[in-house]
Amino acid sequence: MPFFYPIPGARRRALLVVLCAGMALPSLAQERPPEDAAALERGAQLFQQYCTECHGRDGRAQLDVISDATDLTQPNYYYSGSSDQEIFNSIANGAGVAMPAWRAQLGSDAAVWDLVYYVKSLWEE
């Protein structure tokens, strides 16, 4: 006897489609820490450690390393959107071909949020 309840064919296919579709969606942040001076400082440190190679120390991406790296000072030109959640998803899950996912290296959603807050601080008025 199987250890699970057998699911009829049509329902099994529908369940499989739903489960697979859920895996393809980018994960959303579970908790959003406060946007404060400490978060900006942590974000600045993370940015210098992980992001300057492609985006430059000032976030303008005027380097020859990645030809299509986003100029982070111009949110209107962000490839994947400039809302807080869209920036979070781009950092955590990657964006496009050149931007890798950073959630694993950063270690937590809170660290990703720190980077989101810092990136927003680079925006020109």
**59-107: pLDDT as tens digits:** 998 876 666 789 999 999 898 999 999 999 999 999 988 899 999 999 9
Give the chain's count of helices (H) and strands (E).
Answer: 6, 0
pTM of the model: 0.74
Cα distances (angstroms) measured from residue 48 to each of 24, 27, 59, 103, 115 = 31, 25, 10, 16, 10
Number of Cβ atoms within 10 Å of the Cβ of 51 = 21
**Poorest-pLDDT segment among 8-12, 20-24, 39-43, 95-99:** 20-24
